[in-house]
Structure 1
Amino acid sequence: MTAPPATPRLTFREMTADDLEDMAALLGDPDVMRYYPRPKGRDEALGWIHWNQGLYRQEGFGLWVLTLRATGEFVGDCGLTPQNVEGTVDIEVGYRVRAHLQGRGYASEAAAACRDHARDALGVQRLIAIIHPANVPSQRVAEKIGLRHERDALVKTGPVRVYAAALGR
């Protein structure tokens, strides 16, 4: 399993237990998590890391830690996860960026790299993003990487907008 190649500003790598402080800060930040049911606690952040480590083993992909190429600073996470929406499993691109680094194009840059990795390295034919209806910045990221609003759906956390694109070569 390999992570997407580095972009001009970002690198991707697998999450490890050593990332707990950064992931707990990211997932526990009310600003970052405002469109989720609630921020996650430290134990939940460790669970998040373990979930992704399981995905790396089982699927060959997951969410990866994002860092700045120039400094190594932790930016957030971005990657690919299988998601079941109303009985259909698709591969989702997901992204979270630290609050003080938002608005600089990092999510779009990372999501585009994950889209290309899904298509070119993993052979994924269809990519989705599951986005809270009020999360306009995330919807813009999805649109920037070529996903379009396909439908509204209901998941266990409530209503969502599903963005999708065919990735065929």
Structure 2
Amino acid sequence: MILETERLILREYTMADYDALSQILTDPEAMQHYPKPYDAAGVTRWINWSLENYDKYGFGLWAVVRKETGEFIGDCGITLQPIDGEWLPEIGYHIHKSHWRRGYAREAAGAVRDWAFTHTDYPALYSYMAYTNLPSYRTAESAGMTRRKEYADEKNGTTLVYSITRAEWEALIQK
């Protein structure tokens, strides 16, 4: 286990998560803000990429599991992403559509934000998303992030960038 919240456990992926993750990544509705849903090989690459990130950086996307049931409901974590030409630490989140609008992404993203600022030296954390992805902006804002800019991205089209600085996070946790 990496993190624990009131309702969730975030842990490293294993290949045993393949079927549950596949339900998210291959679903056109869940992946509507991506260029296209993933295929079976893409799901395997996603897990392998996460495992490589754990070894290389000590973090990555972590499986999000409901404490109460042990059910895998998605992922959330930190990855280095190319955001408007710079490799930046991004908080990413993907929750199974049967669990949307229950605050799980918000809860996981807040815990990941706190973990990142206490376990890394990053001066800021970012989230980026397609302009059309309103639920993702809300999750970023609930994690204390502010919209910083918009740019044209070949993968996402019009892309929004949100971030929170270490100083902003410190002020947030003092409240």
The reply to whether TM is greater than 0.5 is yes
| Alpha-carbon RMSD | 1.2
**Partners in 2 of 1:167 and 1:32 — Cα distance?**
31
Correspondence for 1:125: 123
Correspondence for 1:108: 106
**Partners in 1 of 2:83 and 2:5 — Cα distance?**
30
Query: What is the letter of the counterpart of residue 6 of structure 2?
Result: P
Correspondence for 1:33: 31
**Displacement after TM superposition at 1:85 (Å):** 1.8
SS of the residue 1:29 aligns to: coil
- Please, which runs of 5 or more residues in structure 2 have no aligned partner? 171-175
Provide the aligned length of Structure 1 versus Structure 2.
Answer: 167
Conserved? CA contact 1:129–1:163, under 8 Å: yes
Correspondence for 1:60: 58
> Deviation per CA, 1:64-103, whole angstroms, max 9, x where unpaired?
0000001101110100000122322210000011001000
Q: Which of the two has greater helix per residue? A: 2
**Partners in 2 of 1:20 and 1:100 — Cα distance?**
17
Q: Normalization by structure 2: what TM-score?
A: 0.91
SS of the residue 1:71 aligns to: coil
The counterpart of 2:21, out of the listed 2, 5, 23, is 23
Conserved? CA contact 2:17–2:72, under 8 Å: no
Correspondence for 1:161: 160
Conserved? CA contact 1:115–1:127, under 8 Å: yes
- Please, which runs of 5 or more residues in structure 1 have no aligned partner? none
Q: Normalization by structure 1: what TM-score?
A: 0.95
Query: What is the letter of the counterpart of residue 167 of structure 1?
Result: R
Q: Which runs of 4+ in 1 moved over 3 A?
A: none
